[in-house]
Amino acid sequence: MRGNIVSLIALAAGVILSLLLGWFAVGNYRSARPIAEGNLRGLALSLTSALESIAARDSSLASLAAFRARDIAYISVIDRNGTIVFHSNADLIGSRVTDQRYVTVLGGRGLAENRIRLGTGEEVYEYHAPLHLPGRTLALRLALHPWRADAVIHRARVGMVVLFSLLAAAWTMGVLLYRYARRAQEHRLEMVRRERLAQLGEMGAVLAHEVRNPLSGIKGYAQLLMERSNDDENREFSALIVTEAIRLESLVSDLLAYARPEPGPEGPLQVNAVIDHVLALVDPEARAAGVTIAASLAEGLATRGNEARLEQLILNLAKNGIQAMPDGGTLTVVTRREGKTVEISVADHGHGIAPHDRERIFTPFFTTKARGSGLGLAVCRKIAEAHGGSISVADNPGGGTVFRVTLPLHR
């Protein structure tokens, strides 16, 4: 429980940190373009001031040709008639512009800026500003290379992509590490469980051997006393002793069955033949309890295993199902093929198993019955695992419980 809480806190912290980093990266990228445009505008204002100062000292504008800056794509000065009176390309001086972008600044409506694409395919930042000279006002068209300014946008974009890539890699690595840690923990828990059950089985075997002999003597003497006694009350007490001794013998047998090493899979078995035999064994008990047995068995299902042990597995499940329906009902047994496995399901319509009991239902000595040993389902799990399979429990959609056993399919 504590580990789950720590995991949830770590997950929440990771999600919050990732959202904050993502918000920072996106915000930085979205603010990069206004910053780049601001840098270009500031550079254009500085250059415009310098060019206006040069032009004020030279009305012919010829000295503008000597003005050099690596960010300048070209400089053009246009009069009110649209004639180019100066251009960085001297061949264009005297020609007329074909656009009306310069009109805005000569009309006294402030500055104008935009990005245009030149005939060479290059995109430039174009800035229009009035050029105030003695006795006249001209339009200055200044085209700047946006390389350095756009580098801000590029760096922000690359930073965002790198950050999101790192976040994706970190989450992928985190998920893989979490899955590895979970598997390692499950493996450790399984090893601890098996070691504990092995110790429990050894202890149970010792106790069973020590108890079986004196128990047989107690039962034998009680039976002898019951036969020879002329007192009805003594015979009744003797019968009770015999009944309880038989119950203890059954518990001892269960302990020995659980402690006994499970034989590995032996030869091929027809699953349906094993089930038919078990159902024939429990049919009298089912009839006495008012339970109807319904079987739906798929044909041609075989597995490798020990026939006696698999019969014990199915017998335990069938008896549990019958005992779970004291007022009668239907015990449903189904076999089917699931990929490379054989699935055997045994379903009853009893009261079901509480969700909090399902995790412990296969633990030795855990039982919900008043007089149960708590070893039947533990033995079932041991047999299933010894045959390379598994057993699980779930709610029956029609009410009650369904146990599912999966075994490797033999072809």
Buried b (16+ CB within 10 A) or exposed e, 364-398: beebeeeebbbbbbbbbbbbbebbebebebeebee
Q: How many CB atoms lie within 10 A of CB 102?
A: 23
Rounded-to-integer distance, Cα 144 and Cα 27, Å: 27
Is domain 2-145 given the CATH code 1.20.1340.10 in the classification? no
Rounded-to-integer distance, Cα 40 and Cα 329, Å: 85
Read off the pTM: 0.50
Q: Can you tell me whether residue 217 is helix, strand or coil?
A: helix
CATH of domain 264-408: 3.30.565.10
Residue with tokens 């694409």: 117
Note down pLDDT in tens along the chain; length 411 residues.
565 687 788 888 888 988 888 898 888 888 888 888 888 889 888 998 998 888 888 888 888 888 888 889 999 999 988 899 999 888 899 999 988 888 888 877 777 888 888 888 889 999 998 888 888 889 899 999 988 888 888 888 898 999 999 989 988 998 898 888 888 888 888 787 677 666 666 666 666 666 666 777 777 777 777 777 777 777 787 778 877 777 777 767 766 666 666 666 677 889 999 999 999 999 999 999 999 999 999 988 899 888 888 998 999 899 989 988 988 899 999 999 988 899 999 999 888 888 777 777 877 776 766 566 667 788 888 888 888 899 999 888 878 899 999 999 887
Strands 291-297 and 329-338: parallel
CA 156-162-166 angle, to 5 degrees, is: 145
Spatial strand order in the sheet of 123-133: 84-87, 72-78, 136-144, 123-133, 112-117
Delimiting residues of CATH 1.10.287 domain(s) in the chain: 152-257
Q: Distance of CA 283 to CAs 11, 168, 316, 322, Å?
A: 54, 60, 14, 10
Nearest CA to 106 out of 81, 75, 139 is that of 139
Delimiting residues of CATH 3.30.565.10 domain(s) in the chain: 264-408
CA Rg, the chain, in Å?
45
DSSP output for 13-41 = HHHHHHHHHHHHHHHHHHHHHHHHHHHHH
Domain 152-257: CATH architecture, name and number where available: Orthogonal Bundle (1.10)
